[in-house]
Every structure is written in C-alpha cells, then in structure tokens.
Chains A and B, each alone.
Chain A
Amino acid sequence: MSPDDRIEVPADVLQFTDVSVTFATDDASPVGPAVDGVTLALRRGEIFGIVGESGSGKSTLANAVMGLLPGTATVTGSILVNGREVVGQDDAQLRSMRGDEVSMIFQDASASLDPTWPVGDQIAETIRAHRLIDRREAKARATALMTEVGIPDAADRYGDAPHRLSGGQRQRIVIAAALANDPQLLIADEPTTALDVTIQAQVLELIDRLRTVHGTTVLLISHDLGVIAQVCDRVGVMYGGVLLEVATARELFRAPKHPYTRALLAANPAGAPRGTRLPVIPAAWSIESLSEAELLAQAKEAER
C-alpha cells in the first residue's frame, strides 16, 4: 500500500507559517503588527507553551487561530489546523471548527460563562452546536464531562448559575465545555492567571491529565514561567509580536539562547535569591520604549 492510499493525517495539528496580524487604527497612523511573522508547528499530543510579557502578541496569535479577532484585524500568512487553512475562511466555516476541532479556554472563567445560564447548559450548548443530538443526551454528556473535570455532584450542580460555583469550579466548567466535542487542539489563554496557586496547580494537573487521556494537543499561553515549566513540553518565547526562541521546556530553562529570554528568566521571582533586588527586564527592551525598527532589528539578530 502506497502512502497515497491512506487518509493523510498531518503530523502537525497546528501550523503557523509567517503569520502576521495588524490592527487598523482610526487615524490611519502606521502601527507595528501585533504578531509579526510567526512560524511554528505544534506536534500532536504535546503541550506547547507561549510565554511573553503583556502586549507581546500571545493572545492575538491564539485568537487568530480561532478567527475571533475583531474586524479591525488583518491576518496574513497561513494557519493550518489539521492541514486546513484558517486564514481567510468565512465565519460559517470557522464556526464549525470552533468548539469542535479546536477549543479555547480563557483567562477569566467567571467572565467567560454567561451569568444568566445554568453552567451545565453552557456545556450542552457546545455539544449541540456541533452534534445532532437531543437535549437529554446533551445533558447526560455534559453531566459526565462535569464529573470528569472534577465537579462533585455534577447532576445537582448542572442547573446552578455560574456565581454559585467557586472560581476553580468555574474554570473546570469552562474546561469541560472546551472538551465537550473531543477537540484535537485546545488553546488555553492564561487559564490559571485568575486563580490562586492551589487551584492553579489543580487546573494545570487537569489539563495535563486530559491531554494524556484524550490525546489533545494544547497551546498554553501564559506570562507565568512557573506554569510553563510545570506542564509544557516545548516553549516559545514571544516578544513584540515576534517569536524569538523555541525550545523544549528543559532546554529553555537550563540554557536560554536569546538575551531577552535570559532577562525574562532572570526576572522570575521564584529564582531570585532572597533579600536582593529582583532583576527586571532592561528598560531599553520594554515593549513601550521600542520603535518598530528596533524591534525588527532585534528579531533579525535573534534569528541569526
């Protein structure tokens, strides 16, 4: 049997090729792209972390995959999800992908659940958006998912409004909704930032476990190096819209190549000795102080 006869399963679940995102501004002044020429491929089943400061373009990149950027954004390049192009697709095609093949969980679980809806119904809604099943079946599946993500008495909690759940439980609901249709790719945009440390660890553990059980590929976005170190297989460092460095988590933390990565790691409070001043990212490298040209120059330098 020749390779052509098989149904081709692309090795990479998600592939960015020279992806740039630019936002149009009202006064037509030229602003730098929010994401600038990112090329990256995610292997099946891995947890890939993206670290970077606020404004480095991490979330923009994630939203570009989902096609959830505002109308003022222009995306160029190519984003392949399971070998299918996302850039330039119309909304109906993207919609069939969202919550099905690709799911996303957001930073603030309290805000990403509709306060007027029972939590269980919000999971069931995800299922019914993609599967032709009746209400009762969807409810049963949603309840099972709630149990899987560790909500006790799932059947009883199904009808609860989001405000009746704790922050950690709400994030679990969001994760359950994201996993409802067995997505191949899960994009987690700062999934633990709004949670306290204990709950944070539990949620990360949950994501890791679900990855193992369902074989989901995870794109984990965070500015928290501790989170990245804990669960990621590989890490990409973003800065000013540019992907500076990609390395395995172990490699990145042991031997960061790019000077910015070194500065970023040095600024991690967990690693700094007690009683000394915490190292900061040099002011010259702060995103606000950089001009477009300097950013590009630095990025080019990094590539060499």
Chain B
Amino acid sequence: MSVQTQLERVAPITTPRARRRSSTRFLLGGGALLGVLAILAIAAPLLAPHDPEAVVVREVLGAPSFDHPFGSDVLGRDVLSRVLYGLRVSLLVSVSAVLVSTIIAVPLGLLAGYFGRWVDTTISRTLDMILVLPAMLLAITFIAILGPGSAVAALAIAVIYLPILARVMRSSTLIVTRNEFVVGARARGAGHLRVIVSHVAPNAMGPVIVQASVLSAFALQLEAGLSFLGLGTQPPTPSLGGMLSDGRDVLVQAPWVEIFPGLAIVVAVLAFTFLGEGLRRAFDPKGVAE
C-alpha cells in the first residue's frame, strides 16, 4: 500500500479551513434567516392580508383558513397580519436597544481598558451597579418611572445590556492594548485618541460584535416578556409577547393564536443566535489563520 493511500485514510481533523466553512454556514444561515424576517417586518403593511387591529366579531377564534392562514384571535383579528406587525415591533425594539447599548458601551469599554487605573475603576464600578440588579426588576423599575411602551422597553433593555457589552469591550481592549503595536503607534507620534480610535478599537471590536448579536436574541425575548406582562408594547399595537399573553386563555380551543407568534419568536431568536455563532467562529483566531 502506498504512502499516498495510507495518508488518505487518516481521519480528517478540523482544519482552519473546515472551521471557517462552518462559520460561513452559520453566518449565511443566520444572516439569511434574519434577512427574511427583516423583509417580512419592513414589508408588513404590504404583506399583511388584513388590518392587524381590525376586530371582526364573526371570526372570533377562527381556525386557519385560506383567508386567515394563521387563524384569527379572541377578537377576530387576523393572526398572520398581527405576527407580521408584531415582528416589526420586536425586531425594532431588540435591534435598536442593542445598537444603542453597543454605541455607548464601546467607548466606555475602550476608555476603561486603555487607560486602566482610576478611569477603569470609575467606569467599571459604575457599570457594576447596574449589573447587580436583576434584569427584569430593572426593566420594571424603568417602566414604573417612565410608563409602559415600546420605546421605554427598548431603553430599559439598552441599560440592562450596557454593562455586559462594556465589560466585553473592556476585556478585549485590555488584551489589544498590551500589544506592542499600541506602543509602536505611540512611539511613532500618535496621540492617545488616535491610538484608541484607529488602532485599538478596530482590533478589539470582534468580541463585542459577537456579544451584541447574541444579546439581540435575548433582547427580543426580554421585549416579548415585558409585552407579555403588559409592560412593553401597549395594545392595540400588536406585539409577539402581547399576542402570547392574549392567547393563553384559549390555548386549548385555539392553539394557533399562541403557536404562530411563539414560532416567530423562536425563529427570530434562532436567527440572532446563528448569526452570533457564525460571527464568533469567524472572529476566532484559530479559525481564521491562513
């Protein structure tokens, strides 16, 4: 038997290339799923067969049919239309909350990680104060003060995730700052601001992007939870969490009222999680080595 064929029999190990392929799969899968959901949400007014808020007494708890593919709810409203509009609110709230949180967390983490010492202590300890409070309690406190609504829910979620994202940014900044190229840039005459913005930030952004994408999944669930409790998006505006709340009394007679918004949440969470996992693998230095 030649060496060639013997070599071919060796069990394949996970090569960087293979790992990269798996990251691509997650990225494409998550991205495509999210893309479809985003299109559905944005185009909801065009796609929805009915007015999501139109009450039709005749069709109360109607089973899925050609006219109402997802059936209709307690008030005879079209579930498909409401899921599409609900998705709109859910995605908007979760993405904007995480986006706002990231935009604030990145500079905080950069400053804390780069300068260390009292800057780090001040920023980190302040954020720890948010971190010690349970997420739901914090959200409810916000809503108690500012009143319920989608915007307040988004704000509360942004505040809840701020310390998490800032800590991720801080720790990757710590690692990047220790690199000689940071001292090198300073030795070439770059100021602190320039070093942070041009050299540290681009090299330290990976983990926070992954974290943000994973947190979007949690944010979506949190928003749904708040709406379920009646603290988030307010009726009659349809929201996925609110729909779950509406349907729970008729779970046995009309499961479609519950199943379809539930499925929408699952798919959206999966999309964010896949995207996060794909990004994590793509940023993993062991996976991108050439």
Contact = CB atoms under 8 A, between A and B. Distances in A.
B59 to A, nearest CB: 58
Interface residues of B, number: 20
B181 A99 contact: no
B286 interface: no
A130 B189 contact: yes
A111 B188 contact: no
Given A71-B117, A115-B203, A129 B181 contact: no
A95 B192 CA distance: 10
- The residue in B183, B187, B194 that gathers the most chain A C-beta atoms within 10 A of its C-beta is B187
Nearest to B117: A71
A111 B181 contact: yes
A187 to B, nearest CB: 8
Nearest to B183: A68
Contacts of A116: 199, 202-203
Interface residues on chain A, size class:
20 to 34
Interface in B151-196: 179-181, 183-192, 194
A100 interface: yes
Interface string A111-144: 1111111000010011001100000000000000
B62 to A, nearest CB: 57
A185 interface: no
A99 B188 contact: yes
A113 to B, nearest CB: 6
Contacts of B290: 163
Contacts of B202: 114, 116
A95 B191 contact: yes
Given A98-B188, A130-B189, A112 B183 contact: yes
Contact of B189 (A98, A112, A174): A98
CB-CB nearest 8 A-B residue pairs: A99-B189, A112-B184, A111-B180, A99-B188, A129-B189, A126-B188, A104-B187, A112-B180
B181 A95 contact: no
Nearest to B179: A111
Contacts of A66: 186-187
Given A71-B117, A106-B180, A108-B180, A114 B189 contact: no
Nearest to B189: A99
A122 B290 CA distance: 23
Nearest to A129: B189
5 contacts: A66-B186, A103-B187, A111-B179, A112-B184, A122-B188
- The residue in A108, A112, A163 that gathers the most chain B C-beta atoms within 10 A of its C-beta is A112
B186 A114 contact: no
Contact of A129 (B180, B190, B203): B190
Contacts of A100: 189
B179 to A, nearest CB: 6
B184 A98 contact: no
A112 B181 contact: yes
Contacts of B198: 114, 117, 125
A282 to B, nearest CB: 33
Contacts of B192: 91
Contacts of B191: 91-92, 95
Interface in A139-183: 163, 174, 177-178, 180-181
Contacts of A112: 180-181, 183-184
Contacts of A106: 180, 183-184, 187
B161 to A, nearest CB: 26
A96 B117 CA distance: 25
Contact of A114 (B117, B187, B203): B203
A187 B203 CA distance: 27
Interface in A86-108: 91-92, 95-100, 103-104, 106-108
Contacts of B199: 114, 116-117
A180 B188 CA distance: 9
Given A71-B117, A106-B180, A114 B188 contact: no
Contact of B188 (A91, A92, A107, A125): A125
A190 to B, nearest CB: 11
Given A99-B189, A106-B184, A117-B198, 7 more contacts: A95-B190, A106-B183, A108-B180, A111-B179, A114-B185, A114-B198, A126-B189
Contacts of A117: 198-199
A223 to B, nearest CB: 18
Contacts of A108: 180
Contact of A95 (B179, B184, B189): B189
Contacts of B181: 111-115
A68 B186 contact: yes
Given A114-B199, A115-B203, A178 B188 contact: yes
A28 B192 CA distance: 29
